[in-house]
Amino acid sequence: MGRLGWGGHFRGLAMRLDGAFGADGTFAHDRLRFVDFVDDVEELLEEVARQERGDEEAADDFEEYVLQHYTGDGG
């Protein structure tokens, strides 16, 4: 992200998503519900969209898309 010039937008990202993945890189379902993780990521994307475009609409459907893709029913 830093090489793309977006490093400033992602300060603290690792801290905000800490605990979402285990040491082996797999999602830690025993520590965090997937829907909560997706909601947190959508909030981060909305923050970036606000900073880059002045409007968070660019990230609006992220959560719905991911949940439909992985659960098949939107949640």
Local structure of residue 3 (DSSP, 8 states): T
Tokens of 51: 């900073």
Q: pLDDT, tens digit, for every residue of 12-31?
A: 666 667 778 888 888 888 88
Domain ranges of the chain: 29-74
Return the amino acid letter for 75.
Answer: G
The Cα–Cα gap between 49 and 43 comes to: 10
Q: pLDDT, tens digit, for every residue of 37-73?
A: 888 888 888 887 787 777 777 777 888 888 888 876 5
pLDDT at 69: 85
The Cα–Cα gap between 47 and 10 comes to: 10
